[in-house]
Structures are given as structure tokens and as C-alpha cells.
A = this chain, B = another copy of it.
Amino acid sequence: MDRNIMCPRSLRYLLAVAEHHSFTRAAEALYVSQPTLSQQIKQLEESLDVQLLDRSGRSVRLTDAGEVYVGYARRALGELDAGKRAIHELQDLSRGSLRLGMTPITDYLAAPLLDNFNTRYPGITVSTLEMPQDDIESGVAEDNIDIGIAFTNTLSTEARSNGIETQLLFIEPLNIAVGKAHHCAGQEEPLNEHAFEQEPLVLLNSDFALRRHIDLYCLEHNISPHIAIETNSLSTIIEVLRLGRLATILPDSIVCRQHEVYSVMLLPELPHHTITLISRKESYKSPASLAFMDLAAGWGVDGCRKIPSHRSGPCPMSELCDPDED
């Protein structure tokens, strides 16, 4: 029974004999006994049904067949060595890949984190997929994406039972956002719920967790918002704000990055927006996934400490974009 024909060990034995022109010297070099070498190479020759070595002279030489075969054997061993190195490079993160799912909102928020990750691990390829929140949850569950960046408080019970686990990234205050030409632009005094009901709004549609978050707030406070436009495009929302007539509700970190778009507080206050990483619970995680989650964990904790409930300073993103301050 040829269980171990052409094992790397046998190939190395052959190559050593070819190099040293002697079973005895090759055996010494390989730290095995000469009879071991003799027997193993004999079995290799028998399994290949060809004589690889010419033993008739004083020194051992490769036959024509042996010459041909050692070329292939060397390349085969080279592939195995390269394979071993490659998987260890993967483990030390000099190479790899990562699939991230994000909504348009979290795409915006996480961009600095992605940039930081790529700076730190340039050999890892990150592919990001923009999708609605529900698709992120199912994508993680079905292993179509490695990590989702989503809102926590809207995770479905189905997601929770699907073996999804969460890791806090950061908490974001939400406020009314208006363009420069809007009559509320620049006012320090918060809007009350009655005034809020009078404002025509442009909002994301209900595919998005942010929208559902707003709907829940309105339901809880008995507010009937005046929704003029619904869309699935954040860009569309920003453009409409600039026209000056409509308002929207957005995380502060997005607002402060838009030219001539202003925050206005709402009372009662909108619950803060919690951004989390979601991944499959108790399943294999690649080194790249683990590295991203580690980076995000350190980054998010710093982020949380630095965001006050009501901000008077510059855009929080400039603080968050420099995690190396520690």
C-alpha cells in the first residue's frame, strides 16, 4: 500500500542524495541513518516504477529520469514552502482581505477608521459594500460580509437570535440640520416639538435605521413630523438642504463636514445614535477581521470619551481622526 508516496520527506531524501552523490553523506546531512535513506528512495523508485539513481559507480548519480524528476520535485517543495510562508504572512497581517458592510450614514462615519486601518495594514484589501441596515444584518449572518457597521438600537430580534454579536464603535448625537438660507440657520435656541412639526423635512426612507430611529422618537413624543421628501440618497438630502427651504435630522459628525450646513438642537432631545460593529457570533474570524475589530475597539473608546452631549467646539471628526494622540 503506497500511503506516503512522493511525500516531501522522500523528495528531500532524493534531492540530498543527488546533491551529495552519496547515500551515506546525504543521510548525515539529513540526520537519518543510511539504511533509512536507502529504503525510502527505493520505495519512491518502486512507486514511480523508474530508477532515479545510478548506483553502479563509486559515486551515486541521477539517471536521466532522475534528472527530470528532481526538477519537478524541487518546484513542488518550493510551492509547499511558499504556501507555508504565505499563510504566516496572512497571520502577521502582511496580506489579507476584509469585507465591510455599511449604510450611507455609517459609510460616512467610518471613513476615518478605514483610512487608519489601511495606513496601519497596507497589505490588507478592504472592500466596502453600501447597503440598507437589514441587508447588513443578513449579510453578516450569511457570511457575505465579515463585519457590518450599523446602528445598535435597531437590531432586530431576528438578528440577535441569528448569532450576531455587537461591539460598540461610538455614540453620535443627532440634531436638526439646515442650510445657510434656512430661517433657523445659526440660531442657538433649540426648536421645541411644536415648531418642529411646522418645519417641512427631507428624510431618508424607512429602509434606513436612522429614519426608523426618528419615527420611534416622534411616536414616543406624539410628534407628527411634516415629511416633504423621502429619499435613499444622503447626497440628495444635502443638496436639498442647501436650497434653504427644508430641514433634516442628521448626526453631528456629518453636519460639521458639510460646507454651510448648520445644526439646530431639538427639545426634547433625540436619543443619541449608537454605531456598532456587528459580526457573526462564535464563528471563525480571519486575522484581518480581528485586527479591524481591535483597531475599532481602541478607536471607539477614545471617540466616546471625547464627545460631550452638547458640543461647543469644532467638528468632533477632527478629534476622532487623530487616535495616535495617546
Chain A interface (Cβ < 8 Å from any Cβ of B): 3-9, 48-52, 54-57, 61, 63-65, 68-69, 71-73, 75-77, 79-80, 82-84, 86-88, 90-91, 95-97, 143, 280, 282-284, 286-288
Contact: A54 with B87, CB < 8 Å? no
Q: A7-B4, A7-B8, A51-B284 are in contact. Are A79 and B76 (CB under 8 A)?
A: yes
Q: Which residues of B contact A6 (CB under 8 A)?
A: 7-8, 80
Contact: A72 with B64, CB < 8 Å? no
Q: Which residues of B contact A286 (CB under 8 A)?
A: 63-65
Contact: B71 with A83, CB < 8 Å? yes
Which one, B4, B9, B48, contacts A87 given CB within 8 A? B48
What is the bound-complex CA distance between A143 and B87, given in angstroms? 45
Q: Which residues of B contact A57 (CB under 8 A)?
A: 143, 283
Contact: A83 with B87, CB < 8 Å? no
A73 to chain B, nearest CB (A): 6
A181 to chain B, nearest CB (A): 51
Q: Which residues of B contact A49 (CB under 8 A)?
A: 88
CB closest residue in chain B, given A77: B76
A290 to chain B, nearest CB (A): 11
A231 to chain B, nearest CB (A): 36
Q: Which residues of B contact A80 (CB under 8 A)?
A: 6, 72-73, 76
Contact: B69 with A86, CB < 8 Å? yes
Contact: A54 with B284, CB < 8 Å? yes
A-B contact pairs, 25 of them (CB 8 A): A4-B4, A4-B9, A5-B8, A48-B84, A50-B87, A50-B90, A51-B284, A52-B87, A54-B284, A55-B284, A56-B282, A61-B143, A63-B286, A64-B90, A64-B96, A64-B286, A65-B87, A69-B87, A72-B86, A73-B80, A73-B83, A76-B76, A76-B77, A76-B79, A79-B79
CB closest residue in chain B, given A81: B72
